[in-house]
Structure 1
Amino acid sequence: MAATLTERRLFILKLVVQEFIETATPIASDTLVRKFGLGFSSATVRNDMAALEEIGYLTHLHTSAGRVPTDAGYRFFVENLMDRTSLSMAEQRMIRHQFYQVRGELDQWIQLAGAVLARTAQNASLVTPPRAEQLRFKNLELISIHDTMVLAVLVFHGGIVKQQTFSVDTARAAEELRRSAGRISDQLLDLTMSQVEQLIAQDAQRPTPTFGEFDRGVIDLVIHAMQTFEEQAREQIHSDGLLEMLSQPEFIPSLARDDAERAVERLRRVLEILKSGRGLGQLIPQALASNGVQVIIGGEHGEDEMREYSVVLARYGVGGTVTGVLGVIGPTRMSYPRSISTVRYISSLMSNLLGNLYAGDTRPPFEGE
């Protein structure tokens, strides 16, 4: 008969997760009974732990008698058992004061957000610069620079300008290039990359297409430029807190050789993640498209290199104008209440800062508090 989740088992699961987060050591039944003065025996707790293991929320490490949470156990804890907390008022005032000292420098806000996230959550942080929610086409110029060489000047909303040269089979007169650029600009105005692709697909089905072969080649250039920009934007990740993360027990090897090798491998992997953003890039678009705080735990990433890590992310920015993503990354044994409350607060603060900046007021909010 399958195990069921009783109130007592839920309580024991919560205690196991909290204790493992705090101690980083497998939790034994007698430890819980002794520390929390439970009104039932160690044998009862062991039975409930076994039931929780059968459900898939706890597991053994090696031959240890203690249990540790699984990814599913952490997920259930975050969604159903975790105490919702906020940063203390003293911490909030201290953080606001730090941002007030920086004034209206966006680059410094990003660096400070990364440092505060890492220090407060005691794990590594990541912050992407704010950018237009979706790149939108604005204007195009085509300039002949040689008989068979054309310069395309691509202008997108947000003041983004890209230049690209391309060759043509036959020379094009300046007036012909001007008409083509005007025709493309009129049709593509304010469109996102996906909308441009949809427009081209629909135009190709018409009995008399709006765009000829030359126009379609230029529009392919536009799509490629937008795609490249989107990919580069996802890779612009500012990270901080490597020392905070490496102070976690998972990265401190014991004298046992196999444990030391695992710690070194974890170190190598986290350096790669923070340096290249590998394993994080696909999470950024998801966070940009979501509301609230997103928590991705261990194997939920779908990436082997991320299976031992959890990421807590939130979008920040000015809706309809610019947005970025910030968050923390650490071992699955992270303090989820602390990490979530920290990410939520810094996201809200950065959104207020950007709102003031785009409104023409460079003073950080809460200045008078």
Structure 2
Amino acid sequence: MLAEMTERRRQLLKLLIQEYVATSAPVASEHLVRRHGLNVSSATIRNELASLEDLGLLTHLHTSAGRIPTDAGYRFFVENLMEQPVLPAHEERIIRHQFYQMQTTLDQWIHLAGSVMARRVQNVSVVLPPRTTQARLRNVHLISIHDLLMLVVMVLHDGMVRQQTMALETPHSQDELNRVAAATNEQVQDATVSQLRDRIEQLEPQVDGLVRPVLELACTTMRQYEEALNSEVRADGLLEMFNQPEFAQTERVKQMLALVQTGNVLTPLIPRVASSDGVQVIIGAEHQNPEMRDMSMVLARYGVDDEIVGVLGVVGPTRMPYARAIATVQAIAAVMSDLVGELHGEPRVERDGSDA
């Protein structure tokens, strides 16, 4: 195919895809000539578009209608014709400033990541929180609510925080709870659920009586967290995507809502993306899920090496602004990796903020 893609055909395919992404309307040869001041006749352009259709890169819905890209056309565009997908330096600085002015909580960063991607690409964003293969408990804090009730705050190794209230049989002051927390944390040391259970069984009789129930509560909470991680895909930007003309039909909206809300839009792709470097672009029929055959996804992993990995990206119609989507996902994945790394003691990566 590459040999048949002359410079003129490359230019026409690029212009047609850019026009179609911007307007959602099939593009006619006359429009390309008039809009871009091409120094050839409409008949010549029409013949070239027919050749691109023969190559499987374009199609048309009606005999007299203009043409639209196929999945193969979008793929050729992404791999061969698209401008370098990099955000301008000033836009990247704005994004980083948004994250670093927030409190250092992973939940807030995840929410902001989804919001920024959805607004900038005008499609749905998806974020899978970073996770290890097994949940590990970093430390526990105990906070007195009143004499017979305390709040157990569990900080996990991946930065997530879980809270549960626990009733007390006898009154405890905050100082007493601090001592219990210290004794509990001596048993924690980034332990997994199975390791915590072993340590509970090995507790010495003289250890404070509250340590055991706190550790048991932590085990239960961590197990629930591990189960929830398999489907805990955060989504934002549904309104932006449903404003697209591809979702004019109610049934298509319902179908997409179900895919996003159940996590099925992302879950099958998590292993592939989590084990790959760079941005992954899945277009139309490249999806294994038949319900996603008219959708595209731009995804990337983020986190700390292979230890703590999350996945984020955008999903929308195949008529997607791919360069902007890829650049945005790259930028958000980079800043989220830095932030997750800092949570786990990694030095901040210095990035060039110049416009060069």
Give the TM-score of the pair, scaled to structure 2: 0.71
The answer to whether the 8 Å contact 1:356/1:364 transfers is no
Q: Rate the CA distance shift 1:346–1:292 in 2: closer, same or farther, 3 A.
A: same
Question: CA offsets per residue over residues 104-138 of structure 1, 9 Å max, x none?
Answer: 11111111111111011111000011111x3499x
Amino acid at match of 2:232: Q
Question: CA offsets per residue over residues 300-341 of structure 1, 9 Å max, x none?
Answer: 002111011100000000113211000000000000000000
Specify the SS of the correspondent of 1:325.
strand
CA-based RMSD: 3.1
Determine which of 213, 233, 246 is the counterpart of 1:237. 233
What percentage of aligned pairs have identical amino acids? Answer: 53
Q: Which residue of 2 aligns with 1:311?
A: 297
Question: CA offsets per residue over residues 51-97 of structure 1, 9 Å max, x none?
Answer: 11111000012444200000010001000111113222332222112
Say yes or no: does 1:276 pair with 2:308.
no
Q: Rate the CA distance shift 1:81–1:347 in 2: closer, same or farther, 3 A.
A: same
Q: Which residue of 2 aligns with 1:15?
A: 15
The answer to whether the 8 Å contact 1:315/1:326 transfers is yes
Amino acid at match of 2:100: Y
Q: Rate the CA distance shift 1:62–1:277 in 2: closer, same or farther, 3 A.
A: farther
Say yes or no: does 1:161 pair with 2:193.
yes
Q: Which residue of 2 aligns with 1:345?
A: 331
How many corresponding residue pairs?
Answer: 279
Question: CA offsets per residue over residues 23-60 of structure 1, 9 Å max, x none?
Answer: 10000001000011111111111111111111100001
CA distance in 1, matches of 2:335, 2:304: 12
After TM superposition, the structure 1 = structure 2 runs for residues 177-256 of structure 1, keeping only pairs within 5 Å, are 232-251=228-247, 253=248
Specify the SS of the correspondent of 1:126.
strand
CA distance in 1, matches of 2:49, 2:283: 21
Question: CA offsets per residue over residues 264-285 of structure 1, 9 Å max, x none?
Answer: 1221111011101124211111
Specify the SS of the correspondent of 2:235.
strand
Amino acid at match of 2:14: K
Q: Rate the CA distance shift 1:96–1:46 in 2: closer, same or farther, 3 A.
A: same
The answer to whether the 8 Å contact 1:135/1:156 transfers is no
CA distance in 2, matches of 1:286, 1:364: 25
The answer to whether the 8 Å contact 1:279/1:305 transfers is no
Structure 1 residue runs of 4+, over 4 Å off? 155-158, 228-232, 363-366
CA distance in 2, matches of 1:359, 1:72: 44
Q: Which residue of 2 aligns with 1:332?
A: 318
Q: Rate the CA distance shift 1:65–1:232 in 2: closer, same or farther, 3 A.
A: same
CA distance in 2, matches of 1:119, 1:37: 33
Specify the SS of the correspondent of 1:95.
helix
CA distance in 1, matches of 2:64, 2:349: 52
- In structure 1, runs of 5+ residues without a counterpart are 138-154, 166-176, 179-224, 254-262
CA distance in 2, matches of 1:322, 1:88: 29
Specify the SS of the correspondent of 1:235.
coil
- In structure 2, runs of 5+ residues without a counterpart are 137-186, 203-221
Q: Which residue of 2 aligns with 1:27?
A: 27
Give the TM-score of the pair, scaled to structure 1: 0.69
The answer to whether the 8 Å contact 2:135/2:226 transfers is no
1:244, distance to aligned residue in structure 2 (A)? 1.1
Q: Which residue of 2 aligns with 1:288?
A: 274
The answer to whether the 8 Å contact 2:299/2:314 transfers is yes
Q: Rate the CA distance shift 1:136–1:230 in 2: closer, same or farther, 3 A.
A: closer
